[in-house]
Structure 1
Amino acid sequence: MKKIFVPCLLLLLATAACQKRAVTAHEDDVLARVCDIEKSRHGETGGGIVLFGNRAMDEYRRAPGSPRHLVKALGRAEGVCRGALIQLLTVFHFDYLDQRFFRITATWREQDWVFFANALSQTTGPLFERYTLVLLDPERPAAVRKIAVNRLSQFDQAPHEKMLGRLVRAYRDDSQLSHLLLHLDLVALPASTTWFADLFDHANPDVHRDIMLAWSTSERDDKSDLIARYLNHGDPGVRRFAESLTAQLAGQDKLTMRTEVRQIQVTKNGDQTDLNQGFIEAVYQLDLQAMESALDNGAELNSRDNLGTPALILLLNLSSFRAVPKQYTPLVRARGLKIMEQREQALAAAQFLLGLGADVNIATESGETPLYMAAMYGNKVFATLLLNHGADPSLRNSAGFTPLDIARTLENQRMVELLR
């Protein structure tokens, strides 16, 4: 009996080992294809914040592997391949990552954290909220914290009030303090009154300005009283800013830093408005010939789309890969342009409009000029184009921000140097 059992056991072990090697080889093959897809889109290293595509995700979705194997493969990967694997781990195996987070991330480099911060945007729920706050830790790279701060508005901050309070205190002497303050939901965070009061003696006047802006753009009923305390501040510049905001708030519920949505009626009888909308459609399609034809037929050079956004800012949005309103999405998809092609064609279209005399300082209803928006998006190439055509960097939006203010708040030093 023993003579039969031992060979059978060895056969079973050998079969299991072969099956394990086959599974491993299959998983390696899937991950290799994922990496090849992303390398073809971004190159070997990718650089900066890489936007990963759906093809790689779909490739893995068809044959998902084990998270343990994915972590092992991540230990050998480099460049854009690391980013693709971190995204797969975050999107498909977040529970596994959560259980072993500090062990898995112990050797991560700055770019790995940037990859993770962007992959986190494809998740929702408690883990999204928890790790948004994890990424706000002052020990994280500045680029990662900047991404995380922008996510705070995507969930209810009230359950995280204590953590946010600790972060405000930890950021007291951090360059991103202003960025954090401007993204807090002050209505949902009643304790924020105390946090801000603790900053009243802060040496940086820009911090006080941003505190007042945070109050003035919130839904808080006591915003005027809170800003009034700065009317007696020791810094003359802070006092003047408080006086300016107090005057602007007179008769208003709050100031706004966002573009107000304004519906423009489009008639179908071939009149000027209809021509303008034809021009706007050509702008979304980045079709220079169609744009020129619409202008030749009487369309206005400074036309706006149905949400009130000027054509020049639409091109900036396309150049910066911002979200497109649903009604115009089919026009953008129909182009089928690659990322760099879209950026280059949007910039060429903007040069075309500016060369014809488009208003370089045209603003949204809340006062954001193309230069302000370029500074907010960090689009230095577009900002340079606007400045070369006479854009005024001193213009303020309705909340009192200049392009330089928003660049400084977002800690974009290259943009700050350009706008000074």
Structure 2
Amino acid sequence: MTSPSIVEFFAFIERGDMAAVEKSLRNDTNLCNAENELGLTALGVAAHNGQLEIVQVLLNFGADIHSVSNSKVACIPSNTALHAGIAGKASRELVEFLLDQGANVDQPDSSGYTPLHIAAFGGSEEIASLLLAHGGNQENHPGSERSPLEIAREKNNKEFLKAHKEFLKGKVQ
């Protein structure tokens, strides 16, 4: 089998075709760090689409967990797989896996937002709790205008606010 095109490879990722992704990587390991025509990384797309097994395979083939996309999409900042997963369909298990693999919980995206900021916009209580437990910085990052807590209050993200409250209770005890 010849190596698939970047477009084909990303189509395999997006539809969750694990066998085709793995076969493609066996033929060309460089695909693990590929970017599509929009500047999005394979790892970021897999995380955004909630494809835990594909994220695992990409990392096993050498994908860089710290890679930052070069997004050419106006509404998508250049970001890491952790940001992309939180903004997308990532489960708690996928986010936890990325963190366990060394994803930087405080890495800002090109808009100055950390993963905790992204969770504040609309993330679940369990993902917010996970990020807080992994040391997510609750303050403003130099590139952002608001803290995650300020964003959560503005967006009325009750799940984030609950996670934050529970986290603070645990810190006080």
Report the TM-score when normalising by structure 2.
0.60
Q: Does 1:278 align with 2:42?
A: yes
- Structure 1 unmatched runs, 5+: 1-267, 320-344
State the Cα distance separating 1:287 from its structure 2 match. 2.8
State the Cα distance separating 1:371 from its structure 2 match. 0.6
Question: In 2, Cα distance between the equivalents of 1:376 and 1:394?
Answer: 15
Whether the 8 Å contact between 1:315 and 1:347 is mirrored in structure 2 is: no
State the Cα distance separating 1:377 from its structure 2 match. 1.5
Whether the 8 Å contact between 1:360 and 1:386 is mirrored in structure 2 is: yes
Match of 2:63 in 1: 299
Counterpart code for 1:315: G
CA shift digits 1:255-286 (9 cap, x unpaired): xxxxxxxxxxxxx9938742893333432443
Bigger relative CO (Cα 8 Å, ≥ 6 apart): 2
Question: In 2, Cα distance between the equivalents of 1:414 and 1:356?
Answer: 26
State the Cα distance separating 1:315 from its structure 2 match. 1.0
State the Cα distance separating 1:289 from its structure 2 match. 2.8
State the Cα distance separating 1:352 from its structure 2 match. 0.8
Question: In 1, Cα distance between the equivalents of 2:65 and 2:124?
Answer: 23
Question: In 1, Cα distance between the equivalents of 2:46 and 2:158?
Answer: 35
Q: Secondary structure at the match of 1:270?
A: helix
State the Cα distance separating 1:358 from its structure 2 match. 0.9
Whether the 8 Å contact between 1:316 and 1:347 is mirrored in structure 2 is: no
Q: Does 1:415 align with 2:167?
A: no
Question: In 2, Cα distance between the equivalents of 1:282 and 1:352?
Answer: 13
Q: Which residue, out of 133, 137, 140, partners 1:388?
A: 133
Question: In 2, Cα distance between the equivalents of 1:405 and 1:269?
Answer: 42
State the Cα distance separating 1:391 from its structure 2 match. 0.7
Question: In 2, Cα distance between the equivalents of 1:378 and 1:283?
Answer: 14
- Structure 2 unmatched runs, 5+: 1-27, 72-77, 169-173
**Structure 1 residues 378, 291: closer, same or farther in 2, change over 3 A?**
closer
Q: For this pair of structures, how many residues does the alignment match?
A: 128
Whether the 8 Å contact between 2:121 and 2:157 is mirrored in structure 1 is: no
Counterpart code for 2:151: I
Whether the 8 Å contact between 2:44 and 2:85 is mirrored in structure 1 is: no
State the Cα distance separating 1:298 from its structure 2 match. 1.8
Match of 1:313 in 2: 83
Counterpart code for 2:135: G
Match of 1:376 in 2: 121
Match of 1:353 in 2: 98
The structure where helix makes up a greater share of residues is 1
- Structure 1 runs (4+) deviating above 6 angstroms are none
CA shift digits 1:34-84 (9 cap, x unpaired): xxxxxxxxxxxxxxxxxxxxxxxxxxxxxxxxxxxxxxxxxxxxxxxxxxx
Whether the 8 Å contact between 2:106 and 2:114 is mirrored in structure 1 is: yes
CA shift digits 1:105-158 (9 cap, x unpaired): xxxxxxxxxxxxxxxxxxxxxxxxxxxxxxxxxxxxxxxxxxxxxxxxxxxxxx
**Structure 1 residues 304, 406: closer, same or farther in 2, change over 3 A?**
same
**Structure 1 residues 365, 294: closer, same or farther in 2, change over 3 A?**
same
Whether the 8 Å contact between 2:87 and 2:123 is mirrored in structure 1 is: no
Question: In 2, Cα distance between the equivalents of 1:396 and 1:408?
Answer: 17
Question: In 2, Cα distance between the equivalents of 1:290 and 1:418?
Answer: 29
Alignment of 1:91-110 (within 5 A): none
Quick check: 358-367 or 298-307, which moved more?
298-307
Match of 1:78 in 2: none
State the Cα distance separating 1:351 from its structure 2 match. 1.0
State the Cα distance separating 1:399 from its structure 2 match. 4.4
State the Cα distance separating 1:389 from its structure 2 match. 1.2
Alignment of 1:65-84 (within 5 A): none
Whether the 8 Å contact between 1:372 and 1:403 is mirrored in structure 2 is: yes
Whether the 8 Å contact between 2:83 and 2:115 is mirrored in structure 1 is: yes
Question: In 2, Cα distance between the equivalents of 1:405 and 1:284?
Answer: 24
Question: In 2, Cα distance between the equivalents of 1:382 and 1:302?
Answer: 19
**Structure 1 residues 376, 277: closer, same or farther in 2, change over 3 A?**
closer
Counterpart code for 1:296: N
Q: Which residue, out of 54, 57, 61, partners 1:290?
A: 54
- Aligned Cα root-mean-square deviation (Å): 3.0
Q: Secondary structure at the match of 1:374?
A: helix
Percent identity over paired residues: 27
Question: In 2, Cα distance between the equivalents of 1:278 and 1:415?
Answer: 28
